[in-house]
């Protein structure tokens, strides 16, 4: 059923919320600036609550079911995280309060920095980046600044494997780096020979996603890093796939120079329907001086009677400020709670079970769906959503048909190097029963693709809306409740 918009539900004169009357003498508003009309909805509180509750029921979510969305790590978001972030001592602190009045916040940030250093094997961490994309931007800027600082302004070339997330090239282009694509070999590793031909004194660095977006751990990763380092480049690690490596391998130990984390993937903070994320960046010694402005540190060591005093410091050659204040503090609190509940053994258990779940699904499905790279996967794997003998059925159809069985579809059409890709990441928080049910449905869909393909083409059947006309949306461009002409008046 179509849910009316808040403007359609509005009735002139209806009041949803009342504030107290002013307790001071009123003065006039500034002359010449008075607003004529304020076109906001007018609804009762109950109508507002029902409207948004009904909207929520049109969403799929982790709390409702299995979400095997590759590269997104849709794991369970523990409820304690939400309680923690809303504690009044956190939620009601102003970012410009004097440091001595927010020692709890600074202690938490400092400790989270230390933990992220330890988990990744790095020397420093900034918590400021707002999301993974901003973390990448931070890392790429630091690499660029490092080369400028070392008298190497010509180092502008950044190598990006063809399996990388689209964000990598977009980020590099934003800061004026020259993007050079790097091919994969037939085992899904970086093509070492191609790499060797591309490194010279113009090399700024390599952006490495490992495990890569095929879900494969690069078997030559140490050699790849050695080649880049020998040519004077730095290696950026895209930490989107850290869920596979927690407590298993520290990227810093194998020579990655800088890496971003996604707290909203690996460390269970909610995706929120598209944000907020949080993308802390970890660096080794080389890049410490370039960290973004404001890193939490101990400004006065503690002793037996007094705790240490925490405060901010400004790295000497900082790339600058990335956003207002210090980052997504509320997200940091959630990640802190999550890491504290796991510790070393718990983190390793996450990675092990994530990889176990992925390999189990892969083995159960590879007879039915083509598996282009048949070797042990990490936390995710990629199938072809396509069969040569039924060319009319596409990954898109399989994805949509899954919705009829109350599953969220896998990521599809990415990575680009696999034909009709279906990228599946089950995460560690799913039970064997859920995985088996998913396998049964995937096999059933493969049968339907042959026996009744129309079922797939028409899918989904039972969702709040069916397949939507995206071309029409782009052409007519209705992007607000009122027609554009009306707004212009």
Contacts with 213 (C-beta within 8 Å, 6 or more apart), sequence order:
70, 71, 163, 164, 165, 241, 382, 414, 415, 423
In angstroms, give the least distance from the CB of 458 to other proteins: 8
Closest to other proteins by CB, 103 vs 370, is 103
Contact 224, 208 (CB under 8 A): yes
Closest to other proteins by CB, 21 vs 389, is 21
Q: Which of 208, 264, 210, 200 is nearest to 232 (CA)?
A: 200
Hey, is 142 helix, strand or coil? helix
In angstroms, give the least distance from the CB of 48 to other proteins: 5
CA distances from 479 to 25, 87, 328, 482 (A): 42, 37, 28, 8
Closest to other proteins by CB, 172 vs 241, is 172
Closest to other proteins by CB, 132 vs 205, is 132
Closest to other proteins by CB, 222 vs 444, is 222
Q: What are phi and psi of 118, to 5 degrees?
A: -65, -40
In angstroms, give the least distance from the CB of 143 to other proteins: 11
Hey, is 53 helix, strand or coil? helix
In angstroms, give the least distance from the CB of 389 to other proteins: 27
* Cα distance between residue 344 and residue 350, in whole Å: 10
Residue 21 token pair = 């009357």
Closest to other proteins by CB, 286 vs 353, is 353
Closest to other proteins by CB, 27 vs 197, is 27
In angstroms, give the least distance from the CB of 399 to other proteins: 8
In angstroms, give the least distance from the CB of 81 to other proteins: 10
In angstroms, give the least distance from the CB of 144 to other proteins: 7
Closest to other proteins by CB, 330 vs 372, is 330
In angstroms, give the least distance from the CB of 283 to other proteins: 17
Residue by residue, DSSP assigns 351-417 as: HHHHHHHHHHHHHHHTTTS--SS-S--SS-EEEE---TT-TT--HHHHHHHHHTTT-PPPEES-STT
Hey, is 462 helix, strand or coil? coil
Closest to other proteins by CB, 150 vs 466, is 466
In angstroms, give the least distance from the CB of 388 to other proteins: 27
Closest to other proteins by CB, 352 vs 384, is 352
In angstroms, give the least distance from the CB of 231 to other proteins: 21
Could you count the other beta carbons within 10 Å of the beta carbon of residue 44? 14
In the chain the first and final C-alpha atoms are separated, in Å, by 32
* Cα distance between residue 241 and residue 107, in whole Å: 28
Hey, is 39 helix, strand or coil? coil
* Cα distance between residue 111 and residue 104, in whole Å: 11
**Within its chain, how far is the Cα of 420 from the centroid?**
23
Hey, is 56 helix, strand or coil? helix
Q: Which of 291, 289, 264 is nearest to 75 (CA)?
A: 264
Burial class of 346 by CB neighbour count within 10 A (0 to 12, 13 to 18, 19+):
middle
Closest to other proteins by CB, 175 vs 288, is 175
In angstroms, give the least distance from the CB of 384 to other proteins: 20
């Amino acid at each position: 059923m179509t849910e009316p918009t808040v403007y359609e539900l509005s009735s002139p004169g209806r009041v949803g919320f009342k504030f107290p009357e002013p307790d001071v003498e009123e003065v006039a508003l500034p002359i010449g600036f008075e607003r004529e009309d304020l076109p906001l909805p007018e609804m009762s509180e109950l109508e507002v609550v029902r409207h948004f509750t009904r909207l929520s029921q049109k969403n799929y979510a982790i709390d409702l079911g299995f979400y095997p969305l590759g590269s997104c790590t849709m794991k369970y978001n523990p409820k304690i995280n939400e309680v923690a972030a809303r504690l009044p001592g956190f939620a009601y602190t102003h970012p410009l309060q004097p440091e001595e009045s927010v020692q709890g916040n600074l202690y938490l940030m400092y400790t989270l920095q230390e933990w992220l250093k330890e988990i990744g094997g790095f020397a420093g961490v900034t918590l400021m980046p707002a999301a993974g994309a901003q973390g990448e931007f931070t890392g790429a800027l630091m690499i660029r600044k490092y080369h400028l600082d070392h008298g190497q302004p010509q180092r502008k070339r950044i190598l990006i494997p063809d399996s990388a997330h689209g964000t990598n090239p977009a980020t590099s282009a934003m800061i004026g780096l020259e993007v050079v694509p790097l091919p994969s070999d037939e085992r899904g590793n970086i093509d070492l020979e191609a790499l060797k031909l591309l490194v010279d004194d113009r090399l700024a660095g390599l952006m490495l996603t490992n495990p890569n977006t095929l879900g494969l751990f690069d078997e030559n990763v140490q050699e790849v890093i050695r080649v880049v380092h020998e040519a004077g480049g730095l290696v950026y690690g895209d930490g989107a796939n850290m869920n596979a490596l927690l407590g298993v391998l520290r990227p810093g130990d194998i020579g990655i120079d800088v890496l971003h984390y996604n707290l909203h993937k690996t460390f269970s903070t909610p995706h929120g329907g598209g944000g907020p994320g949080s993308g802390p960046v970890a660096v080794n010694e080389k890049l410490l001086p370039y960290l973004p402005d404001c890193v939490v540190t101990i400004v006065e060591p503690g002793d037996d009677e007094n705790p240490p005093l925490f405060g901010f410091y400004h790295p000497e050659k900082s790339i600058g400020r990335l956003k207002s204040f210090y980052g997504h503090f509320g997200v940091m609190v959630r990640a802190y709670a999550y890491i504290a509940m796991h510790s070393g053994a718990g983190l390793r258990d996450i990675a092990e079970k994530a990889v176990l779940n992925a390999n189990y699904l892969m083995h159960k499905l590879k007879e039915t769906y083509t598996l282009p790279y048949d070797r042990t996967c990490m936390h995710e794997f990629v199938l072809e959503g396509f069969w040569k003998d039924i060319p009319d059925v596409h990954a898109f159809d399989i994805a949509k048909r899954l919705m009829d069985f109350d599953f969220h579809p896998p990521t599809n059409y990415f990575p680009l190097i696999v034909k009709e890709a279906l990228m599946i990441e089950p995460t560690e928080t799913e039970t064997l029963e859920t995985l088996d049910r998913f396998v049964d449905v995937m096999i059933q869909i493969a049968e339907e693709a042959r026996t009744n393909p129309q079922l797939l083409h028409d899918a989904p059947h039972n969702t709040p809306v069916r397949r939507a006309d995206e071309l029409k949306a782009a052409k007519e461009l209705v992007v607000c409740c009122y027609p554009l002409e009306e707004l212009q008046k």
